[in-house]
Amino acid sequence: MDLIKDFRDKKLILGLSEAIKKASKTPINIMEICGGHTHSIMKFGLPNLVGENINFVHGPGCPVCVMPRTRIDEAIALASLDGVIFCTLADMLRVPGSTTSLQKLRADGADIRALYSPLDAIKIALENPDKNVIFFAIGFETTTPMSAVLVDKAIKLGLKNLFFHINHVTVPAPVEAILQDKEAKIDAFLGPSHVSVITGSKIYENIATKYKKPIAVSGFEPLDIMAGVLNLVTQFENGTHEVYNEYDRVVKADGNKTALNLIDKYFEICDFSWRGLGEIPKSGMKLKAEFAEFDARVKFAEILQNLESKGENRACICGEILRGKAKPYDCKVFGKVCTPQNPIGSCMVSSEGACAAYFKYARNS
């Protein structure tokens, strides 16, 4: 509550708080799909503002968190090769693999670089023509267009030493996988904002209709989230299940056609194995066969095909958290053995992870 005292929208937020409490007559489980929403909810103490009937459930919308150990081990194997410069985003460096992490491997001398901008991979490849540069691409539909831009630029520049390990995933598929779980207790969803800028809000209509669940696409500001929650509560109480675009100042129904066309040009849908969710059909993306010369999983297939990954740490319940079946407080090692400085699981590593949010904002509450 104190964290929003300087917001110009304080009166509006408090007004929404009262409206939500008044409209909410029965308990409702609202899953915020995006890790950015999780952090805003915890940072601004929104659970204290929405009333006791609202239960926020954390979803699989953290790209680092959902990366399976097999993919981390592939990254480590590639980064260990002589003559390789391995590039990825900073959070990936600390995710534990079966035996080590990219961060530890870098400390041992491997050339592993955390990029501020993915476009830096182009510059690195141009400056190091005698090295194989591998970009480990992650993210939902928000970041997929940037990877498509990189491929496009690599082709136009005639680069022969830049390769892509594509780990892009989509939002609708894991949401459906969660809803198909008979143990799932999700009544409504806060839809991701940045993803929806690319995909558009229409992409969720089938889920809302098929599973009879209201969905509110919301921005990250407290006012946005509270407005989204009010809509979900109202729909839930009225028995409706529509897609509400609270973030219509940025998100359009059909999304960003230019970005979507670029994605379609270079990528195709594939099955993908998710941490905590298992393999989900048609939930990931990969380079089209015609661009296989840039695909690190094709170029280094002999290195990757015989890799064996160990199971996840049994003490970590990150998988349960990503499925909405547990919260960080339910983990016995949360805040004790598992901390941001010594993460056991990916939900504590990532800046968008639920465990990181609880540790930073609600550990002592």
What pLDDT shows up at residue 141? 96
Q: How far apart are CA 209 and CA 224, in angstroms?
A: 23
pLDDT beyond 90 at 341: no
Q: How far apart are CA 301 and CA 97, in angstroms?
A: 19
Average pLDDT value for residue range 226-253: 97
**What is the residue type of 339?**
T
What pLDDT shows up at residue 1? 39
Mean model confidence pLDDT for the chain: 94
Domain segments of the chain as ranges: 23-63+172-236, 69-170+255-304, 322-361
Average pLDDT value for residue range 338-350: 90
Q: What is the pLDDT of residues 153-194, one digit of tens each?
A: 999 999 999 999 999 999 999 999 999 998 889 999 999 999
Q: What is the pLDDT of residues 119-163, one digit of tens each?
A: 999 999 999 999 999 999 999 999 999 999 999 999 999 999 999
At residue 109 the predicted structure's pLDDT band, cuts being 50, 70 and 90, is very high
What pLDDT shows up at residue 171? 97
What pLDDT shows up at residue 286? 97
What pLDDT shows up at residue 364? 62
Asked if the domains 23-63+172-236 and 69-170+255-304 are classified in one and the same CATH topology, the answer is yes
What pLDDT shows up at residue 191? 97
Q: What is the pLDDT of residues 30-45, one digit of tens each?
A: 999 999 999 999 999 9
pLDDT beyond 80 at 267: yes
Q: What is the pLDDT of residues 46-66, one digit of tens each?
A: 999 999 999 999 999 999 999
pLDDT beyond 70 at 92: yes
Whether the pTM exceeds 0.75: the reply is yes
pLDDT beyond 70 at 3: no
What pLDDT shows up at residue 89? 86
Which superfamily is assigned to 23-63+172-236 in CATH?
HypD, alpha/beta domain 1 (3.40.50.11750)
Domain formed by 69-170+255-304, architecture? 3-Layer(aba) Sandwich (3.40)
